[in-house]
Amino acid sequence: SQNWVLVVTARTPTNIAVIKYWGKRDEKLILPVNDSISVTLDPDHLCTTTTVAVSPSFDQDRMWLNGKEISLSGGRFQSCLREIRSRASDVEDKEKGIKISKEDWEKLHVHIASYNNFPTAAGLASSAAGFACFVFSLAKLMNVNEDQSKLSAIARQGSGSACRSLFGGFVKWIMGKDKNGSDSLAVQLADEEHWDDLVILVAVVSSRQKETSSTSGMRESVETSLLLQHRAKEVVPKRILQMEEAIKNRDFASFAQLTCADSNQFHAVCLDTSPPIFYMNDTSHKIISIVEKWNRSEGTPQVAYTFDAGPNAVLIARNRKVAALLLQRLLFYFPPNSDSDLNSYIHGDKSILQ
């Protein structure tokens, strides 16, 4: 019969890089110029929820993002779909009387509905959560028997940073050496329990969509920034080792120093690009100053900051007590409903204020 539908729903959190990925050596396969390390956020806060369905009555692949239909014709969606389909295996649901063979998957079409619970394309890594969830839910639907790292190499072809969202906790994206990208994948460095004192707050400075997409920004940086070359060759390899040590030892001072320095260098690369790219704004700079002053006055870092391709601040507090103080300070400097443009504080655990 043509009447059955098989459905899978998955939820994937976004991740925030503490050692940044910026620059591709292969644009089509999305192979980076350096390794990167990220922390995956708690799935209750910034995440994508995706439902995928397959039915013989669907006559084409279709996708909706936040309730609006979007085109699946882009190369990145197509790469992910093709890679997943080629690894599909037999699926049987005896109760519903459904049997799908490996070959059937080539002919069957899917419908995909995806929701972000946070602003899309505002430099909050929406594509990371989005493509990770896209690949993961389709892999479940099509009964793909590959480990998470193999799936991460597929998600990578949707959006580089997406490969890191296949794991929780601390994750490293290994740049790899292969021309075909098979060894450019994510591995987990430590799970979500390893360093659970940390509290991550996202201060939404602006939910407007960014002006320069990460794709074109990276391309321009690779073509014009000498600092990017230096960073990829001389700086990041050392930082990756130091960051791995800091995470392993839960050494917040070192973790914060590396995280802030790496965010600042990424934005310096953006300034070193021709024409220069500005992702941070005055509010972002003010947040950096507040945190730097605070850390200096305490003698040892209390909070780390990091900014991606947008003005929003991701703030990592060493523990809940510091996170509560941080929220109070942010509220003091940027009172709600004032003319400051820090419009909503936190995707994070608000119970820290109680």
Q: Which residues lie near ligand PMV (CB under 6 A)? A: 17, 20-22, 36, 125, 127-128, 159-161, 214-215, 308-309
Helix (H) or strand (E) holding 110: strand 109-116
- For residues 69 and 124, is the Cβ–Cβ distance under 8 A? no
Least separation in angstroms between residue 96's CB and ligand PMV is 37
* Nearest CA among 342, 206, 341, 227 for reference residue 276: 227
**Chain centroid to CA 32: how far?**
15
323 Cβ partners below 8 Å, 6+ apart? 199, 201, 317, 348, 349, 352
Least separation in angstroms between residue 164's CB and ligand PMV is 7
Which residue, 161 or 273, has its beta carbon nearer to ligand PMV?
161
Which residue, 141 or 186, has its beta carbon nearer to ligand PMV?
186
How far is 102 from 105, CA to CA, in rounded Å?
6
Least separation in angstroms between residue 134's CB and ligand PMV is 13
How far is 306 from 47, CA to CA, in rounded Å?
19
Which residue, 120 or 254, has its beta carbon nearer to ligand PMV?
120
Least separation in angstroms between residue 191's CB and ligand PMV is 20
Least separation in angstroms between residue 125's CB and ligand PMV is 6
Least separation in angstroms between residue 259's CB and ligand PMV is 12
Which residue, 127 or 295, has its beta carbon nearer to ligand PMV?
127
Which residue, 22 or 105, has its beta carbon nearer to ligand PMV?
22
Which residue, 182 or 213, has its beta carbon nearer to ligand PMV?
213
Which residue, 267 or 318, has its beta carbon nearer to ligand PMV?
267
**Chain centroid to CA 253: how far?**
24
Question: Which ranges of 205-281 does DSSP label H, i.e. alpha helix?
Answer: 214-224, 226-230, 236-248, 252-271
How much of the chain is in helix, strand and coil states, percent to nearest 5?
40, 25, 40
Least separation in angstroms between residue 263's CB and ligand PMV is 9
- For residues 236 and 19, is the Cβ–Cβ distance under 8 A? yes
Burial class (CB in 10 A: 0-12, 13-18, 19+), 354: exposed
How far is 163 from 176, CA to CA, in rounded Å?
13
